[in-house]
Each structure stands twice: as structure tokens, then as C-alpha cells.
């Protein structure tokens, strides 16, 4: 669904205690540049510092800063989503507004028998015209980020784009130099690799995300904060710094948005005459993932205590989002997704 809300919600967030936030996520550009500008304008209006999006890539990658009685807090925010990523300005062209991307290419390593099967399928459907590079042991499609390689074993690998990796780590180092406490936020939708539940297992972070989180801490960050999979992931203490691989959902009310664009109606085979409620009812019908698995409706709030600059304690406060999978969502639409202790 496309995300939107009324500007007064920014006032509500400020009132309940949000002072700094991440704006790098896969919905930041749902309503293009105008929607992004409106979001940032309202956050500025209520005094919530924000990181992760901007009028060009340099701005999107800049840390946000917050003055507190305990010192200056900084936040760098990135997203693994490929769409809506901002671009750098050039001397003869302004940059493109968008989010701070930490993009990964997907490489499928195929052992010889799987490679031969794959090549055979490509040949049988006359897919050669859609292949950008076709070598004896390497195939790449025009989207650039998807590659297939002949190898000794079959596995999937995520490879970060070097410029994204280096510039984000540089932003972390800059944040550390300019603040007392530096945090990094990553919004990702990766599924766990080699996971017991297969491709739907979102609870195990890929090795590549874990490696990146370690690099962030090595660059000086005081904590790594993950979100995006909509479920909880593990917590790791690395070199005395907490890594939260995913906090899960905090507020999850995606079926209360009053309007949705025609694209979404087309996607679900509905006409422009049908209502937004009818759209939601079709999306929510079994086996809709979000509404058949309670793990999407359980989460926690993390409280981190530092003493003299050193991690002293991490407290995880469990919350539930008031959803009963045994009841129709139509009977709990106004309460589902609201956090409760």
C-alpha cells in the first residue's frame, strides 16, 4: 500500500516524545518528490530532526543532529531499497531528491548441474535478447543488480555497491566526530539466507547485513538500529555496542489510509469505482501474510543505558499491536496496529 497521513500526525509524534527519526525507507517516495518535500516540511515544522532523505544524495546521507542534556546525538539513516534513491549533484545538473540507498546486487551462484539447467531454460524461452552479458560462466540481466555465476555450490549472495558502502561509513565517521552519541538506522527487506522457513523467513538477518552492522560499529557508531522486515530479529552486542537487527513494527495501521492511488487498484484487479475499503478487504483475504501471522503484531521497545560512555544495560520492553488473527480485520480495523505494553 502507498503510505500517507494527515500533517497533524507529525504534531502527535512530537507530543509523545519523538525527537529524531529515520526517513530512509521504501515508502518515502510513494508520492514522488512532492510527497517527500511535504514529509520533510512537516517534520521541520514540529521540530523533529530527520536523516535518510533529501534533495540530493549528499543531503540524504548527511547525519541529523539532536541536542540533549546528555550531549549531542546524531543519526545516519539508509535503506536497501533500489527505488527512489537520490542522486548526487553534478556541476552541470542538480541532484535528484530521494532516499539514502545502501544498494545490494544479488548474485546467484549455481553449481554445474544447476547452471546447465538454468542455461537450458534461458535458451528454451528465447531469453537471450533480455540478457546483457552472456559468458560461459557468467550471466547478467539488464537490471544490472541480478547476476548468475557458475560455481562449485549453489547459494545466494548479496554484494553491497562499493560507493554506497563507503559513503555511508564515511557519514558514520563524520557523525562520530560531530556528536557525543552516533546511531545508524537501516531499513531493509532482506529475507534470511539458509533459513529453516525458506524464503519467507524474515527473522534471520542475512550474513551481509550482519557484516555491514559490524562495519558500522567499527566506524564508531554507538548502536545499529534495524527495521523493515516487520518482524523482530535478534539483538547482538558487538564490541560493547548494541545491534538491533529489527525492532519489528511499532505502529502498524496500513489499512486506515483513506485514499490509495489507481495503480494499487489496478494491481489487485479492481476498478476505479470501487472504494478503498473494498481494496483493503481484497488484500486482507487469506492467505494475506500480514493478517495470518502473529509475529507481525509483536514487537519491543529498546531502552539503552550508557554509563560514562560505556554500555551498561539494554532493556527490551515487549509490546503487542492489538491484533487478533481469529477475528476479521473489519471488526478491529481501528484498534489493530496500536502498540500496547
Tens-digit pLDDT profile for residues 104-160: 988 999 999 999 998 888 778 765 555 656 677 877 776 667 888 999 999 888 899
* Strand extents, DSSP E, 23-103: 49-51, 53-54, 64-68, 71-79, 98-99
Domain, as residue range, for 144: 104-156
Residue 225 counted as domain residue: no
Task: State how far the alpha carbon of 9 is from the alpha carbons of 29, 42, 145, 198, in Å.
Answer: 18, 9, 37, 38
Residue 207 counted as domain residue: no
Task: State how far the alpha carbon of 81 is from the alpha carbons of 25, 55, 101, 166, 285, in Å.
Answer: 7, 17, 7, 17, 27
pLDDT band at 275 (very low <50, low <70, confident <90, very high): very high
Q: pLDDT tens digits for 235-271?
A: 999 999 999 999 999 999 888 888 999 999 999 999 8
User: Across-strand partners of 243?
Assistant: 224, 236
Is residue 160 within 8 Å of 148, Cβ to Cβ? no
The set of cell numbers assigned to 93 is 545538473
Is residue 163 within 8 Å of 202, Cβ to Cβ? no
Residue 21 counted as domain residue: no
Q: How many domains does the chain have?
A: 1
Is residue 192 within 8 Å of 203, Cβ to Cβ? yes
Rounded to the nearest integer, the mean pLDDT of the chain is 90
Residue 128 counted as domain residue: yes
Residue 290 counted as domain residue: no
Q: pLDDT tens digits for 292-337?
A: 778 888 999 999 999 988 999 999 999 998 887 778 777 887 787 8
Nearest to 164 by CA among 24, 21, 31: 24
Residue 121 counted as domain residue: yes
Nearest to 275 by CA among 289, 304, 255, 245: 255
Residue 140 counted as domain residue: yes
Residue 134 counted as domain residue: yes
Q: What is the pLDDT of residue 144?
A: 61
Q: Is 13 a residue whose pLDDT tops 90?
A: yes
Distance (Å, rounded) from C-alpha 73 to C-alpha 292? 39
Amino acid at each position: 500500500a502507498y503510505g500517507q497521513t494527515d500533517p497533524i500526525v507529525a504534531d502527535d509524534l512530537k507530543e509523545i516524545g519523538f525527537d529524531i527519526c529515520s526517513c530512509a525507507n521504501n515508502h518515502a517516495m510513494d508520492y514522488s518528490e512532492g510527497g517527500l518535500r511535504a514529509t520533510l516540511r512537516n517534520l521541520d515544522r514540529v521540530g523533529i530532526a530527520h536523516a535518510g532523505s533529501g534533495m540530493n544524495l549528499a543531503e540524504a546521507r548527511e547525519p541529523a543532529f539532536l541536542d540533549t542534556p546528555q550531549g549531542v546525538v546524531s543519526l545516519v539513516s539508509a535503506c536497501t531499497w533500489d527505488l527512489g534513491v537520490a542522486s548526487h549533484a553534478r556541476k552541470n545538473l542538480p541532484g535528484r531528491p530521494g532516499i539514502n540507498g545502501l544498494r545490494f546486487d544479488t548474485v546467484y551462484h549455481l553449481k554445474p548441474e544447476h547452471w546447465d539447467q538454468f542455461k537450458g531454460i534461458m535458451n528454451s524461452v528465447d531469453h537471450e535478447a533480455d540478457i546483457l552479458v552472456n559468458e560461459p560462466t557468467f550471466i547478467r540481466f539488464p537490471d544490472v543488480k541480478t547476476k548468475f555465476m557458475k560455481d562449485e555450490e549453489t547459494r545466494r549472495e548479496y554484494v553491497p555497491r562499493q560507493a554506497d558502502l563507503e559513503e555511508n561509513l564515511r557519514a558514520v565517521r563524520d557523525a562520530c566526530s560531530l556528536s557525543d552519541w552516533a546511531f545508524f538506522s537501516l531499513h531493509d527487506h532482506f529475507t534470511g539466507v539458509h533459513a529453516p522457513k525458506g524464503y519467507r523467513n524474515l527473522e534471520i538477518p542475512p550474513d551481509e547485513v550482519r557484516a555491514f552492522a559490524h562495519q558500522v560499529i567499527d566506524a564508531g557508531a554507538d548502536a545499529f538500529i534495524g527495521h523493515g522486515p516487520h518482524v523482530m530479529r535478534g539483538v547482538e552486542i558487538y564490541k560493547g555496542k548494541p545491534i538491533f537487527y529489527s525492532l519489528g513494527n511499532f505502529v502498524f495501521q496500513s489499512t486506515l489510509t483513506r485514499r490509495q492511488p489507481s495503480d494499487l487498484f489496478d494491481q489487485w484487479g479492481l476498478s476505479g469505482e470501487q472504494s478503498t475499503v473494498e481494496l483493503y478487504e481484497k488484500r486482507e483475504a487469506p492467505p494475506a501474510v500480514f493478517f495470518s501471522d502473529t509475529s507481525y503484531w509483536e514487537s519491543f521497545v529498546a531502552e539503552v543505558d550508557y554509563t560514562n560512555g560505556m554500555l551498561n544495560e539494554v532493556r527490551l520492553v515487549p509490546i503487542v499491536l492489538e491484533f487478533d488473527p481469529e477475528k476479521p480485520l473489519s471488526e478491529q480495523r481501528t484498534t489493530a496496529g496500536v502498540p500496547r505494553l
